[in-house]
Every structure is written in C-alpha cells, then in structure tokens.
C-alpha cells in the first residue's frame, strides 16, 4: 500500500497493487481498479482531476504482462482521469511516447468534455513535423470518467429476431430526433429521444425489428471541420471504443450517458426492437503522422497502429482517414473483442455493423477472410451469437470484398444497391443481375454455404443520396461542405426524372413519387434482409448533398413537419405485406426445380416470365434492351419449418417489374400457376381489391411501375 499526497483534498489516497484485469477503470463498490496496457512505457502515471481541473499524478508501480495497474479505495463513479506515459519518443522507429500529453484510456467507459484543437494536442510544432512539442495538453483534452456499472435492467431480454424476419432501420441519433414535435426539446437529439414513444411508435408502424445506430462510440470532431464551422456529424472518427458519446446525452452528470444509453436499449427491447451499433474499429481519430496525440498513439503507437514497414514514421491507411488499427497485435485484437463483448454483455446491444470491415482482415497487406479477427469472433461465445454485419470494403487495394466474408457474417450488399438503381433508371442489360438481387444474391453467397439473409439489401444508406434525392438529382450538390463540390461520390446511378432538383412540374413529381415506391417495393419484397435509411419513408431530402458527414444541421436532420404522408403509408403497407407472407422471407435460396409432391405438381419454387407469358429463356436474359420481367413465387415451395417443425405454406404471388418508359402488357401465366389473381400492390395506382385477373389474360403494367398479384384461394 502506498500513501498518495493529494493537495487540496482533505484526505490522502491509498494506492493498492490492484489487478491487471480487467483493463480500464473498474468500480467495485469499494474503490476503483485502473489498468492500462503499454509495452513501450517506462513509467505510467494515472492522472486524477477534481471539479476545478486540478490534477493529481499517481505513478502506477505494478506492471504484469505490460499492463500497468493499481487500485485506489474511495475513488467513486464520476471521478475524471487520464494517463501520462513516459517512454521513447522516436517517430522514425514508430515510438511516440510523450508524458506532456494527457491520454485517454482506450478502455474508458465514459468520456467527459470535448477537444480544444490547438498546438498542445500535437507532439510536433505546427509547420515542423519532425520537431518535438512538449506543451502540456491536459487543458485541451476531455477526461475519462469512472462509471457506475450498476443498472436496473428489470426483465430485459434480447428480442432475438431471425434475420429472415428482420427489417433494419439505419438512423442517426440526432438526425432522427432533433426536430420531432412530440419530443420534449430538452431531450431532442439524444438517446432518451430515441427511446421516446413517438419514435418507437413510428418504428413499430413501419415494421422495423432493429434500429442500426450510426456511430455512438465517443468520437472527435476533426479540427479541419471545426475551423470551417462544421462538425463530424456522422461520427466515423472514434476515440473511445467503450464509451457512448456524451454529445447524445441529455444527462448532464459525468458518466450519465451510460445510464441514458442503457435506458434507451431497455425501452427499445420492450418494444421488441433490437439495437445494432455501427462500429468503427478500423481506425481512430488520431489520424496520420500529422495527427494529434490523444490516446493510443502516446500509449503504444507501434502496438495499436499498422505502420509502414520500411518507415515507421508513417501509417498504413486503408480507410482514407490517416491510420488503420494493427490487427496483427494481440492487445489490439483484445481491445476490439473486449469492446464488442462489453457492448453485448453490459450495454445489451444486439449486433454490430462494422465500418470498412475489410480493414480488419488486413493482417499484413492483402485482405484475408481467415484473418485472426474473424477466427476470434467465430470462437467467442458472446460475440458470435449476435448479429454481425460487414461493410465489405475499404479503400485499399483489393478492398472490395462483397460476398467473401465468413459464413456467420452478413454483408451490406453494395451490388444490390447498384443493380436496383440501374434497373429502375432504365440501364440496359441489367435484367439478369436484377433477378439475382431480387432472389437473395445466390451468386454471391451460396458458394460459402450462406443463405439469402447474408445479403443486407439496401438502396439508400447514410453515405450518398437520400431516396428523394436519388430520383431528383443527376449530380451531387455538396457546396455546403466547403470543398468546392469535389467531395462525395460522383457516380450515383441516380436519375432526376427530367429536371434537376426541386420542381413544380406535376408529371415530374408524379414520376419521382412512383420511382420512390418502386425502390421501396423492390427493397422490401426482395429475399434477404431489407435496410431502410431513416427518413426515406417520409421523403427526406438533403438538397442533393450526397456527403452530409459534416452537416449537423437542417440539411441532414429529418423534418417531421414536412413528411410525405402518402409515401409513409405506402411504405407501411409494403412492410406489412412482407411481414404477413413468408414467401418474401425465405431462409433458403430458390432452386428453380419442379417440386414434385410439394404443392401443385411440377411447379418450381420460382419461375420467370417474359411479357408474353412464356418462361424466360437464356436468350431472353441476355437481351440488352429487356427492361421488364414477371416472377412467380410459389407459396407451396418454401423449404422452411416453423417453430413447431411444420412446413411453411403461403400464398403464391406474381410480381411484374416494368422499368420501360412505356406501359407493358403482360400475359398472365397458364392456369397451372394459378387460375385467378388479385392485385394487392401497385406503385402506379391504388389497386382495386375487388378486381381479379384470370390465367392467360393480359394485364397492363404502367410505365416504370411494379404490380404485385396474389393467387386467389379456391
């Protein structure tokens, strides 16, 4: 036991040896154990801060396996702290220790305050990157917070929705809630707002089973954006893998964001809605060799970051953000796995979407689907059991890996997005690939023993045009970002329907509305897991800005008072159709083969038809100008079993897709596929429920429209 003199305090503190595990600051009801890894350190100081900002430095004398640790009785939740690491400062050899820089604990459960972007945060003098700057950074840094780990979860249980039954809703905590009129102003833009009944009711009415929150790990606002009067709105600039960001908390107490986040999860679970986090483990906010020293760079730079082998001054950058985490190092892998496990076990989240996930497979240079990270996930009894969604690309060579992730993973299917956009804007030679995407992308996933649910289908995500803008703009309009419209994707596969941007032309507006309905219908009735981007069901626009990462303002926020209620009701109707019929939620790929005794004799589980009512041939699929197709989904051809082991049987459906600029007359298939058909959904006009069509007779599908028919029961 060591006595610690603490000026300004009434009592001296005691320092006990403590334990090397768990890492981070762990309060046990009596005191707090502090533990931090650093192989590079020669000395580590724990820095405690009082309410006035006065600092007490406490050297941690114990070190086991490169973990520096100590236990201090009487340190309670709310205590703010950081670290100073003494050790070699030799950037050319990848060593960047500097005790003048206060460092955030990589395992901090909460972080209080923001960064003051000034010279002290940097270990070099501006204008001279090879120099050493010893300005003390404590006054410019936020502080870690010891949290109270106890929370009354009540009877909280994970909803555990099957992938096939899932509808994912990608949302931004602030953008979703900031302008909602029914949410009290003091909690708008926060975790508490997401848990408000107004938001939960909206999600439930849409049939949403999981909300996928854009990054909520504590992140830094880039100094370059702050200088422009902008901010990192999206949050893909993480600096705390365990800490829910305080910017989204209405609780003013240090560490209060943890309790508020847990309450949000509990409320969503009570509504049978899962919580999926968009997580950024591929890089941190410390950037490249010109970036600030905030945490891992000063703790053990070479362990945490992937450095250039022949010049360790520089960082390998597979993310376009300046650095990439070093997934070759066991302590970096431990950090990632401990973080994932924490969010599942302590915060009760239900899954993760991994930003630029290909980076996590780069142990050396190439992407390796058998990389250690994926092996660890496969073997982990906690993480392997939640939803794991990869963004299967990064910006490095060979980084586009759609279809190549391990079997237990699902993927954002970028090929689905591109194909569906091309089909509905009338691009030639897209029919065959459109069929693959509609039926679960077997060409991408079946060879790895995965099922249709491996495909997270989306047309719109946070990155790019909103759905309303996809049908309203041919070109991006990112002038507000301050980069002369040079940022953002230029090839958007969008079509403005004849006029760029806002218009009063009723024909153009009607066409745009129909195209929005086409996209939503295709998305929700495709095999796989649909993901809706927040606000698309309301007609949200960003005025043509397809890179709203720095716009924390009305450009990106949802405007509930301007909601397109017709589009909202249509989206709800299509979602309800999907939920009611398992033929749209198959757990296995179609075979296309006759089913024999399973259902009507000789009928396949899926069949494709030309407009004249004949089954599609290989030559038909290869026709460059073909932009229309019909598909038969056999409700008796579902190979799934229900919870009681009974075979699933559903109605059969005909779906007609016409991306041509003129109406197309489709001839219904022969009677063996169904003697009569009832319209249940049409993107061109409200279907007449009293109307029916007989086998072999014609039915007209409007230009650029979708028609869905259900087989009438005898």
DSSP 306-337: -B-TT-TTSB--SSSSS--B-TTSHHHHHHHH
Q: Are 539 and 564 in contact (CB under 8 A)?
A: yes
591-to-595, 617, 653 alpha-carbon distances in Å: 9, 16, 17
Strand partners, 606: 633
The dihedral over CA atoms of 570, 573, 574, 578, expressed in degrees to the nearest 10, equals: 170
Report the alpha-carbon distance of residue 408 to residue 431 in Å, rounded. 30
Asked if 681 contacts 662 with a C-beta cutoff of 8 angstroms, the reply is no
Helix, strand, coil % over all residues of the chain, rounded to 5: 25, 20, 50
Instruction: Give the CA dihedral 582, 583, 589, 590, nearest 10 degrees.
Output: 160
How far, in whole angstroms, is CA 50 from its chain's centroid? 37
CA angle, 155 then 161 then 166, to 5°: 140
Cβ-contact 283, 276 below 8 angstroms: no
The Cα 197–Cα 187 span in angstroms is 13
Furthest-apart CA atoms within the chain: distance in Å: 92
Q: What are phi and psi of 154, to 5 degrees?
A: 60, -130
DSSP run (H or E) holding 47: strand 43-49
Place of tokens 């990112």: 478
3-state secondary structure of 684: coil
Q: Outline where DSSP puts E strands in 322-461.
A: 351-354, 387-390, 410-412, 455-457
Give the residues across from 641 on adjacent strands. Answer: 647
The residue with tokens 């090397």 is 20
Residue by residue, DSSP assigns 63-107 as EETTEEEEEEET--TT-EEEEEEE--EEGGGTEE--TTS-B--TT
DSSP summary character for residue 220: P
Would residue 278 show up in a list of annotated catalytic residues for this protein? no
443 preceded by a cis bond (ω within 30 of 0) = no
Q: Is 136 a catalytic residue?
A: no
The DSSP 8-state label assigned to residue 344 in this structure reads: H
Which residues are registered as beta bridge partners of 211?
Answer: 169, 275
CA nearest to 237, candidates 146, 336, 319, 335: 319
Catalytic residue among 45, 245, 355, 422: 355
Return the bridge partners of 261, or none.
Answer: none
Element (H, E) at 524: helix 506-525
What would the two tokens of residue 91 be? 């950037």
Give CA–CA dist 35/28, Å, rounded. Answer: 14
Which position has the token pair 């590079």? Answer: 40
170, 212, 391, 432: the active-site residue: 391
Rounded to whole angstroms, the Cα distance separating 158 from 211 reads: 13
701 SS3 class:
strand
Tokens 């072999």 belong to residue: 696
Which tokens sit at 589?
């790929």
**Terminal Cα distance for the chain, rounded:** 84
Q: Where are the alpha helices (DSSP H) in 172-270?
A: 173-177, 191-194, 197-206, 223-227, 256-270
Choose among 653, 661, 658, 705: nearest CA to 678. 653
Q: What angle do CA 367, 371, 376 make, to 5 degrees?
A: 145
Alpha-carbon distances of 547 from 172, 462, 542, rounded to whole Å: 14, 8, 9
Residues marked active site are found at 355, 391
């Amino acid at each position: 036991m060591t006595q610690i003199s603490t000026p300004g305090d009434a009592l001296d503190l005691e320092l006990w040896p403590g334990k090397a595990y768990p890492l981070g600051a762990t309060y046990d009801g009596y005191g707090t154990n502090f533990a931090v890894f650093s192989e590079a350190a020669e000395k580590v100081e724990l820095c405690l801060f009082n309410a006035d900002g006065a600092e007490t430095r406490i050297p941690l004398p114990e070190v086991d396996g490169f973990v520096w640790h100590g236990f201090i009785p009487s340190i309670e939740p709310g205590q703010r702290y950081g670290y100073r690491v003494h050790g070699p400062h030799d950037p050319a050899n990848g060593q960047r220790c500097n005790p003048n820089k206060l460092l955030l604990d990589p395992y901090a459960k909460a972080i209080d305050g923001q960064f003051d972007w000034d010279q002290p945060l940097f270990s070099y003098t501006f204008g001279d990157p090879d120099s050493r700057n010893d300005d003390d950074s404590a006054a410019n840094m936020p502080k870690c917070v010891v949290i109270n780990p106890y929370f009354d979860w009540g009877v909280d249980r994970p909803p555990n929705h099957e992938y096939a039954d899932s509808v994912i809703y990608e949302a931004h905590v602030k953008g979703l809630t900031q302008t909602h009129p029914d949410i009290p102003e003091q909690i708008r833009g926060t975790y508490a707002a997401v848990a408000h009944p107004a938001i939960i009711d909206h999600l439930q009415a849409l049939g949403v089973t999981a909300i996928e929150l854009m990054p909520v790990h504590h992140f830094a606002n880039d100094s370059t954006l702050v200088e422009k009067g902008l901010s990192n709105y999206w949050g893909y600039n993480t600096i705390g893998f365990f800490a829910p960001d305080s910017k989204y908390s209405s609780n003013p107490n240090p560490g209060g964001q943890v309790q508020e986040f847990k309450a949000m999860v509990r409320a969503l679970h009570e509504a049978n809605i899962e919580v999926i986090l968009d997580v950024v483990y591929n890089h941190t906010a410390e950037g490249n060799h010109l970036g600030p020293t905030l945490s891992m760079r000063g703790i053990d730079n070479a362990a945490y970051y992937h450095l250039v082998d022949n010049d360790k001054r520089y960082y390998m950058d597979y993310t376009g953000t300046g650095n990439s985490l070093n997934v070759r190092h066991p302590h970096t892998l431990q950090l990632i796995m401990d973080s994932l496990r924490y969010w599942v076990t302590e915060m009760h989240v239900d899954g993760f979407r991994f930003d630029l996930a290909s980076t996590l497979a780069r142990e050396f240079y190439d992407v390796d689907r058998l990389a250690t990270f994926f092996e660890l996930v496969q073997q982990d009894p906690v993480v392997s059991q939640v939803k794991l969604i990869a963004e299967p690309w990064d910006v490095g060579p060979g980084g586009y890996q759609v279809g190549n992730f391990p079997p237990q993973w699902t993927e954002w299917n970028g090929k689905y997005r591109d194909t569906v956009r091309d089909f509905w804007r009338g691009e030639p030679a897209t029919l065959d690939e459109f069929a693959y995407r509609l039926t679960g992308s077997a060409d991408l996933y079946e060879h790895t023993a995965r099922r249709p649910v491996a495909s997270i289908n989306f047309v719109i995500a946070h990155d790019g045009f909103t759905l309303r803008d996809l049908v309203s703009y041919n070109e991006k309009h990112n002038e507000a970002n301050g980069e002369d419209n040079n940022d953002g994707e230029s090839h958007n596969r969008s079509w403005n329907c004849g006029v760029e941007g806002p218009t009063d032309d009723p024909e153009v507006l009607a066409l745009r509305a129909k195209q929005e309905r086409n996209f939503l219908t295709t998305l929700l009735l495709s095999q796989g897991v649909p993901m809706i981007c927040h606000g698309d069901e309301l007609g949200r626009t960003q005025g043509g800005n397809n890179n709203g990462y720095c716009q924390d303002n009305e450009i990106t926020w949802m405007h509930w008072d301007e909601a397109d209620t017709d589009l909202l009701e249509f989206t709800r109707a299509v979602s309800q159709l999907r939920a009611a019929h398992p033929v749209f939620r198959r757990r296995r790929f179609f075979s296309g083969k006759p089913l024999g005794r399973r259902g009507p004799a000789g009928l396949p589980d899926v069949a494709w038809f030309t407009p004249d009512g004949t089954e599609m041939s290989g030559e038909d699929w290869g026709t460059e100008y073909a932009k229309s197709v019909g598909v038969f989904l056999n409700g008796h051809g579902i190979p799934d079993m229900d919870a009681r082991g009974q075979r699933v049987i559903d109605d059969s459906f005909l779906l007609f897709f016409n991306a041509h600029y003129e109406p197309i007359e489709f001839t219904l298939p022969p009677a063996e596929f169904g003697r009569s058909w009832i319209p249940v959904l049409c993107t061109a006009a409200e279907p007449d429920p009293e109307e029916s069509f007989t086998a072999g007779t014609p039915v007209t599908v409007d230009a650029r429209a979708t028609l869905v028919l259900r087989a009438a029961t005898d």
